[in-house]
């Protein structure tokens, strides 16, 4: 397995100019969006346009609303004001399409959320068979393809508890890929992992980025942000207060809250 840390930035940095995106090629459009938990105004006037093929890292202090924002993008959480348009569907307006939207938007969580009593193969084929109606043999072939893709085909018949955390997270990524999503949301996918397992999960995410997957990642992995993101978004107290390409974001943060955050995590 290649060593991310020893790869040069030139080898790994993905050229933003290679992305073929235009104003009409919007994957997710969040417009004037607000969300409350009871009386608590958790997201305030969020505007965010994500183009197809973009790789966005969402950074910010604990409690700033990062997870809530991406959970709103596949309606795991409901917003109360404004619009979230995913692949052309406004999430509150067209509830009938919500299942379809969820299939187009894969999500990987901090805790892998695998069913412990099912084998890896069964975890991967469950939704394709029962949600999509895919024949079992086809679902299993697809599952094996994606297990190869995340480099653990030999684990297919084991149970989640027999795998390391890094392997379980790779299974969770493969499970999302089995639904052939157009967009992948990652909510701190490496936070629950031991340090030595972080790299193997980041490598899978990097390869997805290299293949052009639209990705929005909440992560504290600033090395990943530098290497892979073409935009870093900084949230504070429910607002996006700064966004920039990684080079400028890290070298020249504009907002004092961003400067403080970076000084705390990078030193």
Ligand X SMILES: Nc1ncnc2c1ncn2[C@@H]1O[C@H](COP(=O)(O)OP(=O)(O)OP(=O)(O)O)[C@@H](O)[C@H]1O
Q: Which of residues 192-231 bind ligand X (CB under 6 A)?
A: none
Contact call for residue 68 and ligand X (CB under 6 A): yes
Stretch that binds ligand X, among 58-66, 171-179, 207-215, 253-261 (CB under 6 A): 58-66
By beta-carbon proximity to ligand X, the closer residue of 37 and 130 is 37
By beta-carbon proximity to ligand X, the closer residue of 65 and 128 is 65
CA angle 18, 84, 245 (to 5 degrees): 35
Contact call for residue 264 and ligand X (CB under 6 A): no
By beta-carbon proximity to ligand X, the closer residue of 61 and 153 is 61
- DSSP output for 210-251: HTT-EEEEE-S-HHHHHHH-SEEEEEETTEEEEEE-HHHHHH
Q: The tokens of 163 are what?
A: 């795998």
Interaction mask 22-51, ligand X, x per CB under 6 A: ---------------x--x-x---------
Contact call for residue 63 and ligand X (CB under 6 A): yes
Stretch that binds ligand X, among 59-67, 129-137, 158-166, 208-216 (CB under 6 A): 59-67
By beta-carbon proximity to ligand X, the closer residue of 65 and 106 is 65
Phi, psi angles (nearest 5°) of residue 88: 90, -5
CB of 82 to ligand X, least distance (A): 17
CB of 67 to ligand X, least distance (A): 3
Stretch that binds ligand X, among 63-71, 144-152, 163-171, 198-206 (CB under 6 A): 63-71
CA angle 199, 203, 208 (to 5 degrees): 150
Cα 254 to Cα 242, 244, 251: the distances in Å are 7, 10, 10
Give the 3-state secondary structure of residue 151. Answer: coil
Place of tokens 């890292």: 57
Stretch that binds ligand X, among 11-19, 28-36, 64-72, 135-143 (CB under 6 A): 64-72
Query: Between β-strands 55-59 and 214-218, what pairing exists: parallel, antiparallel or unpaired?
Result: parallel
Is the Cβ–Cβ distance between 224 and 59 less than 8 Å?
A: no
Measured CA to CA, the distance from residue 185 to residue 191 in angstroms comes to 15
Contact call for residue 66 and ligand X (CB under 6 A): yes
Phi, psi angles (nearest 5°) of residue 166: -65, -40
| Selected binder of ligand X within 33, 67, 106, 179 (CB under 6 A) | 67
Q: The tokens of 60 are what?
A: 């910010």
By beta-carbon proximity to ligand X, the closer residue of 77 and 90 is 77
- DSSP secondary-structure letter at 162? G
CB of 37 to ligand X, least distance (A): 3
Contact call for residue 64 and ligand X (CB under 6 A): yes
Q: How many amino acids of this chain bind ligand X (CB under 6 A)?
A: 11
Q: The tokens of 219 are what?
A: 């992560």
Chain residues binding ligand X by CB under 6 A are: 37, 40, 42, 60, 62-68
């Amino acid at each position: 397995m290649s060593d991310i840390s020893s790869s040069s930035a030139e080898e790994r940095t993905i050229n933003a100019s290679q992305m073929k995106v235009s104003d009409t090629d919007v994957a997710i459009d969040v417009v004037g969006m607000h969300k409350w938990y009871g009386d608590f105004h958790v997201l305030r006037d969020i505007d965010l346009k994500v183009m197809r093929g973009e790789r966005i890292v969402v950074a910010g202090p604990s409690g700033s609303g990062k997870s809530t924002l991406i959970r709103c993008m596949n309606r795991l959480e409901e917003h109360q004001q404004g619009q979230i348009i995913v692949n052309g569907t406004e999430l509150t307006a067209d509830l009938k399409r919500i299942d379809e939207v969820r299939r187009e938007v894969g999500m990987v969580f901090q805790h892998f959320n695998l069913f412990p009593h099912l084998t890896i193969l069964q975890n991967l084929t469950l939704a394709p068979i029962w949600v999509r109606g895919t024949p079992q043999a086809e679902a299993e072939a697809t599952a094996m393809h994606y297990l190869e893709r995340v480099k653990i085909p030999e684990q297919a018949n084991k149970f989640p508890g027999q795998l390391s955390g890094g392997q379980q997270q790779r299974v969770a990524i493969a499970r999302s890929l089995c639904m052939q999503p157009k967009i992948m949301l990652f909510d701190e996918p490496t936070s629950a992992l031991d340090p030595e397992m972080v790299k193997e999960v980041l490598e899978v995410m990097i390869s997805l980025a290299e293949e052009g997957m639209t990705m929005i990642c909440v992560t504290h992995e600033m090395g990943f942000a530098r290497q892979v993101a073409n935009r870093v978004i900084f949230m504070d107290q429910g607002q996006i207060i700064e966004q920039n390409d990684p080079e400028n974001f890290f070298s020249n943060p504009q907002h004092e809250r961003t400067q403080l955050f970076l000084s705390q995590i990078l030193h």
